[in-house]
Amino acid sequence: MPSFDLQLLTTGPYHEMLLAGLALSLQLLGITLVLALPLAVLIALARLASFAPLRWAATALVEAVRNVPLLAHMLFWYFGAPEFLPDSAREWLYNHNFEAIAAVVALLLYTAAFMSEDIRSGIRAIPAVQLEAARALGLGFLGAMRLVVLPQALRITVPPLLSQTLNLWKNTSIATVIGTAELMYQAGKVETATFRSFEAFAFATASYLSVSLLITGLALAYHHRFPTRTA
């Protein structure tokens, strides 16, 4: 009968490899989330702008990103985009952990495109009279958005933004295809070295589930503390 080798996961070099992979996955999540939220807000505002070329450009960006699989984005930014750089720059990137950088770029654009649609929906859910009242008080479009509309819109978009954050956490696993040493990559290396598939991927599964539940719990606590209200 097969046995579960707990020591493989709690001590030794394989334990350290799995923890290093988990740490990198969390870093990909944190960095991407911090950068994606403001970028998503900018894209959403651009899609609502009265200047038609800006609105068309933002729409084209969102549709182009959302309708291409994340796997294709990963491969493009790691293998395709560097081809446009000088040889010296490309060599420097590949010698300085370019796998993680390309993963962040792909995850950033992909996540921001989806989040921007949620934020745009939240902005459009705010009654137009609030924006008109803010403009009547002397605020410009950006000022009215920043002080009046966006605070309300972001609050009511917490549930869909939570969903996108969970998707982002799970999407970090796709970075393994370009050699990023995140959790799935390290679990695969441990499985290859030890032939202990169950232990390696049980650790990965438990890690993804634990972080997902933590994100859900924090979001529910925030939503309970600040219930959604719109005027």
Query: What's the pLDDT tens digit per position in 88-146?
Result: 888 888 888 899 999 999 999 999 999 999 999 888 888 878 877 877 777 777 778 87
Domain annotation covers residue 12: no
How many domains does one find in the chain?
1
Domain annotation covers residue 123: yes
Domain annotation covers residue 50: yes
| 70: containing domain | 24-225
Query: What's the pLDDT tens digit per position in 22-41?
Result: 999 999 999 999 999 999 99
- Identify the CATH number of the domain in which residue 95 sits: 1.10.3720.10
State the chain's mean pLDDT as an integer. 88
d(CA 30, CA 149): 26
For Cα atoms 173, 175, 179, give the angle at the middle one, nearest 5 degrees: 120
d(CA 12, CA 51): 59
Domain annotation covers residue 162: yes
Domain annotation covers residue 13: no
Q: Are 157 and 119 in contact (CB under 8 A)?
A: yes
Domain annotation covers residue 180: yes
Other beta carbons within 10 Å of 157: 23
Domain annotation covers residue 3: no
Task: For residues 75-88, give the mean pLDDT.
Answer: 89
Q: Are 70 and 171 in contact (CB under 8 A)?
A: yes
